[in-house]
Amino acid sequence: MNLDLPLILTLAVLVTGGIWLFDSLVLARPRKAKLAAVEQQFQQMDVAEQHKNAAYQTAKSAAGQEPFLVEYAKSFFPVLFVVFFLRSFLVEPFQIPSGSMIPTLQVGDFILVNKFAYGIRVPVLNKTFIPVDSPKRGDVMVFFPPHHPKTYFIKRVIGLPGDEISYVNHVLTINGQVVPEKLQAMLPVGAPELRLVTETLDGKEFTAYKHLVPGYLSVRGAWKVPAGHYFMMGDNRDNSADSRDWGFVSEDAIVGKAFAVWMHWEEFFSIPSFDHVGVVQ
């Protein structure tokens, strides 16, 4: 079962903030009245100063004691709100769970995703209410795929709304123009043999893995990207379930643009590495 973390965080902020607000408007009044009574009582007392101070502090603490639920809410709300604001509108960290974006991103890479690159969105509903920019071909984007609407995926933007895409035997064509490819190396790592290539898409150069013999998703396909949708592909072309398999990504399913790798930590008991940090190409 996939947890809806944005929804859980939003509810936590609303509940703790609501408790704090209710205390300020309702529950705090009796406490203030009790504190005022304590002040008045001790102003009239004629006892030794040391004894008076100790008794005063005890009475004041008892009169102003907050319910434990209010104490917890006031403690957690500021932290939850800061986390909520950062991950909803600015930057959110993710870990790469699969090899679909190799060689650009490795399994275990921790990346940072710009949440406002494509517009400020309403948390949970994910609707844009302040437009900023739109995805560009070649961007590495985090999104919710149509077949798993609560699971984060990361792929490269290949097709924009209205584009005509074809992918035939590893040759990518967009609107009748073949995307340039340059062979970098042959990698005989077992079977099947791999080609490491660079592709240049709208002036953006990136690397990709392609089997010497195209996989079933790389043999033949043609698509017309509908309005408000995007065509996504993994850089590990023959080991990526993407738009060639499950279709287009809706504008409302966009999470943000991946822009940096800040750590690599593949397994819990392994040692984190910072050799792979840098800007996502």
Render 175-196 in DSSP notation, one character per residue: TTEEPPEEEEEEE--SSS-EEE
Comparing CA positions, the residue from 94, 91, 38, 44 lying closest to residue 65 is 38
Catalytic residue list contains 100: yes
Q: Of 88, 100, 218, 243, which is the active-site residue?
A: 100
Q: Which helix (H) or strand (E) holds 257?
A: strand 254-264
| Vertex 245: Cα angle to 241 and 251 (nearest 5) | 90
Length of the chain measured in residues: 281
Per DSSP, the chain holds a count of helices (H) and strands (E) of 5, 17
Nearest residue to 255 via CA among 127, 105, 86, 136 = 127
| Residue 155 near residue 242 (C-beta atoms within 8 A) | yes
Place of tokens 């392609």: 210
The catalytically annotated residue of 155, 210, 240, 257 is 155
Q: Which residues participate in catalysis according to the annotation?
A: 100, 155
